[in-house]
Amino acid sequence: MKNITVIGAGTMGNGIAHVFAMKGFAVVLVDISQAALDKALGTIEKNLDRMVRKEKISEADKAATLRNVVTSTDLASGVKNADLVVEAATERLDLKLKIFKQIDEAAPENAILASNTSSISITKIAAATNRPEKVIGMHFFNPVPVMKLVEVINGYGTSKAVTAEIMELSEHLGKVPVEIKDYPGFAANRMLMPLLNEAFYTLYEGVAGVQEIDTVMKLGMGHPMGPLQLADFVGLDVCLAILNVLKDGFGNPKYAPCPLLVNMVAAGKLGRKTGEGFYNYQGAGKDLVVAEQFA
Ligand code: 3HC
């Protein structure tokens, strides 16, 4: 594989483009918004700078990585030479089905089509294409350049050869792939989201405050971030979408999203990306500041 097209220039898309480009792949990063593409290139450069500062890569590696990424606002031309397409668009089934239909029409016949979806059925996505055996989940974790895990999700019709190729490719990227079956939330989010949801309820019911909840999990369980900070980092809209997939997919109300989360998303407080969630990210400085609502 040489040519990788990444669809979606958000947090996950730019991270995925970053790791492929650093390994020498030719990457086309596609988004409908030129502004999102420009921002993504800026983020990749900033993250490469951090790696240069930490002496993990050289200035020459940084320059080579940046040279390996081109951008496009046109999906059809962006995928036309792809060996692998990794879709990392917004977590909405209707959107993903539309995108996969378009990719299937424009990408070479032998290209593998992967989705970075965090919980939407790979089997449903594959059904929008004429090549279900070549459709697979490749679920990266944020921040993509740092987190080692890739969940490799086999849809109902994914061929064994395609799975083997994606497992090998993930290892080549320096990641640790694990094979997962295609059920709601796969494995990671099926375990993570109920934990985050319980943290939202713990706050909502007034059992403990924002900092107290995060301190419990950081110092009591050794988590690098508390669950509320992690939810802000993932995006509260993403958490809500995944909890709804779990609730509907299993038909089990135990996954019902906490009303506080629902309200925060309705209010546009989506976490770090909007400047406020459980914490407020607008001020300068590294210290976490609890959002006014919860102070
Ligand atoms: N790009 C590249 N490198 C980065 C980076 C980025 N965006 N962010 C941090 N780093 C590197 C730093 O350079 C540093 O490297 P070093 O250890 O070699 O010096 C290392 O990561 C740690 O960074 P910092 O010291 O600045 O900060 P922290 O020690 O607080 O670590 C963190 C930051 C790695 C994000 C850590 O807090 C963490 O592991 N948090 C939990 C992350 C997590 O759970 N992610 C999964 C989210 S769920 C998901 O993505 C699935 C989805 O479907 C919902």
Residue ending a domain, among 153, 181, 209, is 181
For residue 254, count other CB atoms closer than 10 A to its CB.
9
DSSP secondary structure letter of residue 219: I
Is residue 286 pLDDT above 80, yes or no?
A: no
Confidence of residue 281 (pLDDT cuts 50, 70, 90): very high
Same domain, residue pair 218 and 73: no
Same domain, residue pair 18 and 155: yes
Residue ending a domain, among 181, 203, 220, is 181
Is residue 284 pLDDT above 80, yes or no?
A: no
The best mutation among 146, 150, 229 to test binding of ligand 1, ranked by most ligand atoms within 8 Å of the C-beta, falls on: 146
pLDDT of residue 9: 97
Same domain, residue pair 164 and 48: yes
At 59, which CATH number? 3.40.50.720
pLDDT of residue 128: 98
Is residue 131 pLDDT above 90, yes or no?
A: yes
Same domain, residue pair 152 and 209: no
pLDDT of residue 3: 98
The finding on whether 143 has its CB within 6 A of some atom of ligand 1 is yes
Q: Where are the beta strands (DSSP E) in the chain?
A: 3-7, 26-30, 69-72, 84-87, 112-115, 135-139, 149-154, 176-181, 279-280, 289-290
Residue ending a domain, among 181, 200, 225, is 181
Same domain, residue pair 228 and 171: no
pLDDT of residue 22: 98
The finding on whether 149 has its CB within 6 A of some atom of ligand 1 is no
pLDDT of residue 63: 98
Sequence-distant (≥ 6) Cβ neighbours of residue 261 within 8 angstroms: 197, 200, 231, 236, 239, 240, 243
| pTM score, whole prediction | 0.94
Q: What angle do CA 87, 144, 138 make, to 5 degrees?
A: 40
> What share of the chain has pLDDT > 70, as a percent?
100
Closest protein CA for atom 11 of ligand 1: 146
Which residue range is the domain that position 197 belongs to? 189-294
Active site amino acids: 118, 139, 151, 189
At 255, which CATH number? 1.10.1040.10
Same domain, residue pair 170 and 264: no
Same domain, residue pair 103 and 10: yes
Is residue 285 pLDDT above 90, yes or no?
A: no
CA 145 to ligand 1 center in whole angstroms:
8
Phi then psi for residue 176, to 5 deg, are -115, 105
The finding on whether 234 has its CB within 6 A of some atom of ligand 1 is yes
Residue appearing with tokens 């939202």: 200
| Number of domains present in the structure of the chain | 2
Residue range 157-186: average pLDDT? 98
Residue range 252-262: average pLDDT? 97
Is residue 192 pLDDT above 80, yes or no?
A: yes
